[in-house]
Structure 1
Amino acid sequence: MTSPNSTPTSQYPGSPAGAVYADRGSSHFDILLAAMVTVVILSGIGAAKGVTFGTVPGTGFEIITDGGFFLFPLAYILGDVITELYGPRAARRAIITSFSVSVIATLSYQVIIALPPFPDDYGLAKQDALELALGPVWIVVVAGLAGFAAGQSLNSFLVGRMKQRSGERGLIGRLFTASGLGELVDTVIFCTIAAAAIGITTVEQWAQYTLLGFLYKVLVQYAAIPVTAAVIRWLKRTDPTYQARLSRLADRAPADPTKV
């Protein structure tokens, strides 16, 4: 029986090429999905806070970012792992699940804000703090939904298509190529929509915020690629459904005439 995540592709002589994917029901997908959902929710809360580290000496370039900057690259790393191991369809399911839960969390924040607070000074102070902290989160969630859905979908599409062509080979190349393009699309869309919620008011601030966000996310992902690739290879080795499909693909691959 063919896996719903597997995509038949042409075979490459001498190599078990072709896109092989594990079953989503195996032991790792639920953990990866839970981690992605957690990262997306926490990033949405953190990104509602504008952060500045001052200016770069001698340049006048202001270092502007948001409170979720250190978390969000993890969502792309997890997306790369899910796409490589379980396929683009599983990655789409993870994206939809992450943002469905994020929308539910955002609606919950609005209900919490709308509930009547204690009428004393402490209760009113907490109400004001909640409105200030959680009130703008819905804008960040909309920005994240638009940016991450577009960027991660492009990222997963590229990883999937490249894997169809090269099979198990070229993992590092897939991660490098897809990460940069996906992050570029995501960052431009997210920063444009979320700027108002964060407190960015000028085009110059937006440009600095977008450029820094893109460079940071890409550099983190690129720096993490050796670890990401090692984790992917370990997951492939330890997932019985992946190994079973890889073995069947290798058995069907034509022999390399140069080695006869």
Structure 2
Amino acid sequence: MIKQVPENPAKNRNNNSIWLVVVAALTVTCYITANIMAVKMVEIGGKAWFDAGTITFPIAYMLGDVLTEIWGFKTARKIILLTFVCNFILVVCTYIGVFLPSPEYMSEVTQAYSVIFTYTPRILAASLIAFVAGQISNAWVMSAVKKMTKGKYLFVRTITSSAVGYIFDTGVFVLIAYIGTAITEDIVSMIVVQYIAKLAIEAIFSTPLAYGAVAFLKRKAGVSNE
């Protein structure tokens, strides 16, 4: 009779660590991308505006939900802080680049670079404050609702946590990033439109992706923080 070889726990730990790194890297990338895209304003019918970062932001929130669902609130909080640091490094380095000399034939590119990355520090300041408030509240609600539902109804957790997180994130971000540069009507419009757009993207795209990601990671990483 062939003796069954027990599963190697060290291998499971390695798989778990690898997938955590992958999800963390994707989270950081999505947030940095959203912050850079936030410089661009998108107009809808001349009556509503939102920053282009709204498109990628819900993906980052979805990944935050996945982190909390699979690895728990404490791990998610560490990744949130890591993302904070990475965003800060990005802005410091790109801002230093604004003051470095460049050749004359690159004047148009240099001017465009300066316009984008001179404004980025303000975007970052707004993003970092909003990010911490929004993501911590999102992760906390996600964890709390998971306990209340005993690990069931993932869609309830993702939608509820994001709805709360977006209130903090969107309001704080728009006020800090655009107050003084946009009129009050536009600021109010941006807050409302961004909040609705983020929730819509969350419900239509991000939640189904979260279901797939959670199922995949529970199988591959061999972890379920229930």
Give the TM-score of the pair, scaled to structure 1.
0.76
Report how far residue 43 of structure 1 moved.
1.1
The aligned residue for residue 67 of structure 1 is 52
The aligned residue for residue 26 of structure 2 is 35
Unpaired segments ≥5 residues, structure 2: 1-12
The aligned residue for residue 130 of structure 1 is 113
- Counterparts of 1:223-234 in structure 2 under 5 Å? 223-224=204-205, 225-234=207-216
Q: Equivalents in 1 of 2:59, 2:81: separation in Å?
A: 17
Partner SS state of residue 52, structure 1: strand
1:24–1:218 Cα change, 3 Å: farther
What is the CA deviation profile of residues 179-206 of structure 1, one whole-angstrom value per residue up to 9, with x for unaligned ones?
1111111100011011148x42x11110
Q: Is the 8 A contact 2:70 2:223 kept in 1?
A: no
Give 1:237's match in structure 2, choosing from 211, 219, 222.
Answer: 219
Q: Is the 8 A contact 2:16 2:222 kept in 1?
A: no
Q: Equivalents in 2 of 1:86, 1:232: separation in Å?
A: 11
Report how far residue 112 of structure 1 moved.
0.7
Residue type of the partner of 1:162?
V
Deviates more, 1:155-164 or 1:185-194: 155-164
Q: Equivalents in 2 of 1:33, 1:72: separation in Å?
A: 15
1:177–1:113 Cα change, 3 Å: same
Report how far residue 27 of structure 1 moved.
2.6
1:221–1:68 Cα change, 3 Å: same
Q: Normalized per residue, which structure has more helix?
A: 2
Deviates more, 1:23-32 or 1:78-87: 23-32
Name which one, 1 or 2, has greater alpha-carbon Rg.
1
Report how far residue 109 of structure 1 moved.
0.8
The aligned residue for residue 178 of structure 1 is 161
The aligned residue for residue 250 of structure 1 is none
Q: Equivalents in 2 of 1:190, 1:96: separation in Å?
A: 17
Report how far residue 123 of structure 1 moved.
2.8
Q: Is the 8 A contact 1:143 1:189 kept in 2?
A: yes
1:72–1:204 Cα change, 3 Å: same
Q: Equivalents in 2 of 1:104, 1:51: separation in Å?
A: 27
Number of aligned residues: 213
Unpaired segments ≥5 residues, structure 1: 1-21, 56-61, 247-260
Partner SS state of residue 51, structure 1: strand
Report how far residue 26 of structure 1 moved.
2.7
The aligned residue for residue 216 of structure 1 is 197
Q: Equivalents in 2 of 1:86, 1:71: separation in Å?
A: 23
Partner SS state of residue 68, structure 1: helix
Partner SS state of residue 64, structure 1: strand
The aligned residue for residue 79 of structure 1 is 64
1:96–1:70 Cα change, 3 Å: same
- Counterparts of 1:44-193 in structure 2 under 5 Å? 44-55=35-46, 62-118=47-103, 120=104, 122-193=105-176
Alignment RMSD: 2.0
Q: Is the 8 A contact 1:24 1:86 kept in 2?
A: no
Report how far residue 241 of structure 1 moved.
4.0
Q: Equivalents in 1 of 2:209, 2:33: separation in Å?
A: 23
What is the CA deviation profile of residues 77-109 of structure 1, one whole-angstrom value per residue up to 9, with x for unaligned ones?
110000100111111111111121111010011
